Structure 1
Amino acid sequence: MPFQTAVSESLQGPGPALGFWLTLPSAALVKTILHGPSGLNSRFSWVLVDAEHGLITDREYYELCNAVASEGASPVVRVPAAEEWMIKRALDAGAHGIVTPMCHTAKDAAQIVRSSKYPPLGTRGYGPMFAPHAFPGVASGPEYDEGSQTGVTVIVQIESRSGVENVEEIAAVDGIDVLFIGPFDLSKNMGVVRGGPEHEAAIQRVLKAARAAGKKAAIFCTDGQDARERVQQGFDMVSVNTDVGVIRAGMLGELKVAAGGAENVAAGGGY
């Protein structure tokens, strides 16, 4: 039987699955953000553990996955590349989902699915000594083994011109759960202005392809307003900010107030 995770439940529900980017290898930081009542009607259902551009390596996966899961959210690991051994390392550390950058073709997508699942559905090597620790209520052995075949969320990033051109075929690949747009890489790869007409048309094409294939659509956002607008467009999974963006904006905002300036400071932090 497949098990449910915070991110899979959120994706199946009526509202958007909201999450954020973790680029610093700190379990204390992520637990501080997630812990306790938020005072809001919404909670983060997922945290992207960024091993592609963040300062995180597979050495930190286990601790971070368990820290996120202990607070009722899903750790979703973005691996540096769509290599089978990288996907295996993330899943064996307890990732509830994997994100692979730069998916260009349906062939790429099919290989990512195979790397994410045990035989006979895929080629994932067997050794889940630690993975079940990040799945509260899921026992080691058959319960995790069988449940992970469909319970782990498989997410591919569409962030290149070739990815957009092939997105309908990518979306049709069985086992792909979410198409995740990387808007910054997409604009650079396409050679167009981010937020311009051609860039936005590509984003909407990915959204439409996901919808047509019965898959979920996700996008990276750098602030709450951007995230709200993407939710209103119909995106199912949206990031609201990055850890470093919020830390920088918060600290500089307070510095500016203390120095007698205005309160609003752009998040920055690299994006």
Structure 2
Amino acid sequence: MTEKETLTQKLRSGKPTFGMTMYSGSNAAIEIAGNWGLDFAFIDAEHTAVNVDLHLEKLILSAKLSGIAPLIRTRGTIEWDIRKSLELGAAGVIIPQVNTAEQAKAIVRAAKFPPLGRRGGDASVRAAGFAGPNFKWSTYTQTANEESLVIPMAESYEFFDNIDAILDVQGIDVINFGPADYSLSRQIPIDYSMSNQEVNERLDELIEKCHARGIKVMAPCIPPTPENAIKLAEKGVDMIILGNDVMFLNQGCQRASEAMKAVNG
């Protein structure tokens, strides 16, 4: 992805995009992912110590420095988290545990400027170029509405009970499928690989109904092998999450442990 082609533009072209989840709160992990050409960094503020503060700002700046689009998973449908993440320069927000159309409407209301939503505005923020040269409110709000991705998560049986009403909410750009929490909600074995028939069927249903409405789909690729990535792309997944930084640290430390044990006998 070049500087002239944003993540949103790449999605509109129909090309699959690739990223990884960042749990460690490490600037280096984000920059390394960008150096290797990944399209987006899924920065988690739901399950981690990361908050919407100066720490998150540094992570966003690391992404921008290395040419990878920063997407922030917030703590929930919290207007302040959504608005401030976007004002800090995030390319989009990922919202966990969305179960109803009312929640989806609240997310769009917080993330999009009128007429799509009711996002509060201030020009003295990074997203507005700090009201610098040639700043225009009309250009800022229109570009933000077109380029900032609103990504609710489908990670419960309640989401699928209400799927049509949720997807009919105007202003949703992408749905992120969460197989682990979906499995927890159904009290079935957790299956990130989605080999479980029910989990796989929910992803197929999501892709079909999202694409019929012009909405993109994000899903994890576990384990992140070329074969699995190809399968997801052929299935119709538009944004493929190729593992996470903690996973890769564990894999590296496992190899180190094996080397240590080989020496020690």
How do 1:111-190 and structure 2 match up within 5 A?
111-132=106-127, 140-142=135-137, 143-190=139-186
1:84 is aligned to 2:84: no
1:159-191 C-alpha deviation (Å, 9 max, x unpaired): 010101222222222110111101100000122
CA RMSD after TM alignment: 2.5
Which residue pairs with 1:102 in the alignment?
97
Shift of 1:216: 0.6
Secondary structure of 1:156 counterpart: strand
User: Equivalent pairs: percent with the same residue?
Assistant: 25
Shift of 1:221: 2.9
Shift of 1:16: 1.1
User: Are 2:25 and 2:59, in contact at CA under 8 Å, matched by a contact in 1?
Assistant: yes
1:196 is aligned to 2:191: no
Which residue pairs with 2:215 in the alignment?
215
Which of 58, 67, 80 is the matching residue for 2:52? 58
Shift of 1:140: 4.9
Structure 2 residue runs of 5 or longer lacking an equivalent are: none
User: Are 2:112 and 2:171, in contact at CA under 8 Å, matched by a contact in 1?
Assistant: no
1:230 is aligned to 2:232: yes
Change (3 A) 1:152 1:138: farther
Structure 1 residue runs of 5 or longer lacking an equivalent are: 262-271
Shift of 1:252: 1.5
Which of 41, 44, 47 is the matching residue for 2:41? 47
Equivalent-residue separation in structure 1 for 2:22 and 2:129 (angstroms): 17
Which range moved further: 13-22 or 189-198? 189-198
Secondary structure of 1:224 counterpart: coil
Secondary structure of 2:262 counterpart: coil
Shift of 1:133: 7.6
How do 1:22-33 and structure 2 match up within 5 A?
22-33=22-33
Count of equivalent residues:
252
Change (3 A) 1:134 1:164: farther
Change (3 A) 1:138 1:189: farther
TM-score (norm 2): 0.86
Which amino acid in 1 is paired with 2:200? Answer: E
Change (3 A) 1:63 1:144: farther
Equivalent-residue separation in structure 1 for 2:221 and 2:91 (angstroms): 21
Equivalent-residue separation in structure 2 for 1:238 and 1:224 (angstroms): 9
User: Are 2:157 and 2:185, in contact at CA under 8 Å, matched by a contact in 1?
Assistant: yes
